[in-house]
Amino acid sequence: MCQNEDRRTTERGSPKLSASGAQPTNTHILAHRFGYLRPTSLPEAIAALEEHPDAAILAGGTNLLVDMKMERTAPASPSEPTELPGPLPSGQPAVLVDISRLPGLSEIDSAERRTTIGALTPIRNLAVSEPLWREHSCLAEAAAAFGSTQVAMMGTLGGNVANGSPASDTVPALVVLGATATIVGSSGERTVLIADLLEGPGRIALERGELIRSVVLPAPQGSVGSAFLKLSRVRADLAKVSVAARLVRDGETIVGARIALGSVGPTVIRAKRASSMLAGKPFSKDLILNAARQAASEIQPIDDVRSTADYRRKAAVALVFDAVSLAWNRTKEEVRGQRGSPVSSTLLGTRPMQAESTDLVPIELVVNGKAVSLSVSPNELLLNVLRDRLELTGSKYGCGIGECGACTVWMNGTPVLGCLVLAVSADGADIRTIEGEAVDGRLSDLQSAFIAENAFQCGYCTPGMLMMTKRLLEEIPQPTEDEIRDYLKGNHCRCTGYAAIVRAVHAAVQKGAT
Ligand SMILES: Cc1cc2nc3c(=O)[nH]c(=O)nc-3n(C[C@H](O)[C@H](O)[C@H](O)COP(=O)(O)OP(=O)(O)OC[C@H]3O[C@@H](n4cnc5c(N)ncnc54)[C@H](O)[C@@H]3O)c2cc1C
Ligand code: FES
Ligand code: FES
Classify 357-436 by CATH class.
alpha beta
Paired with 257 in beta bridges are 247
Task: Kindly give the residue spans of alpha helices, DSSP state H, lying in 145-236.
Answer: 149-154, 157-162, 170-176, 194-197
Measured from CB, residues less than 6 Å from any atom of ligand 2 are: 397-400, 402-407, 417, 419
CATH for the stretch 222-334: 3.30.390.50
Provide the residue-wise pLDDT of the chain in tens; the chain has 514 residues: 344 433 332 223 344 555 555 566 789 999 999 999 999 999 999 999 999 998 999 999 999 999 999 887 544 333 343 333 333 344 789 999 999 999 999 999 998 789 999 999 999 999 999 999 999 999 999 999 998 999 999 999 999 999 999 999 999 999 999 999 999 999 999 999 999 999 999 999 999 899 999 999 999 999 999 999 999 998 888 999 999 999 999 999 999 999 999 999 999 999 999 999 999 999 999 999 999 999 999 999 999 999 999 999 999 999 999 999 999 999 988 888 899 999 986 555 568 899 999 999 999 999 999 999 999 999 999 999 999 999 999 999 999 999 999 999 999 999 999 999 999 999 999 999 999 999 999 999 999 999 999 999 999 999 999 999 999 999 999 999 999 999 999 999 999 999 999 999 999 999 887 6
5-98 CATH: 3.30.43.10
Please, are residues 267 and 194 in contact by the beta-carbon 8 Å criterion? no
Q: Hey, is 203 helix, strand or coil?
A: strand
DSSP state of 493: -
Q: Which of 1, 407, 496, 498 to mutate to test the pocket of ligand 3 (most atoms within 8 A of CB)?
A: 496
**Angle in degrees, CA 436, 438, 443, rounded to 5:** 150
Give the pLDDT confidence score for residue 352 in this predicted structure. 87
List pocket residues of ligand 3, CB cut-off 6 Å: 456-462, 493-496
Q: How far is the CA of 305 from the centre of ligand 2 (A)?
A: 21
Return the domain boundaries, the chain. Answer: 5-98, 222-334, 357-436, 445-510
Q: Are strands 414-417 and 408-411 parallel, antiparallel or unpaired?
A: antiparallel
Kindly give the number of the ligand 3 atom that is closest to the alpha carbon of 455: 3
CA of 64 to the centre of ligand 1 (A): 7
The pTM of the full predicted model, rounded to 2 decimals, is 0.93
Q: What is the CATH number of domain 445-510?
A: 1.10.150.120
Rounded distance from Cα 464 to ligand 2 centre (Å): 9
* Cα torsion through 50, 95, 352, 184, rounded to 10: 30
Among all bound ligands, the one having the nearest atom to the CA of 395 is 2
Q: Which residue type is seen at 38?
A: R
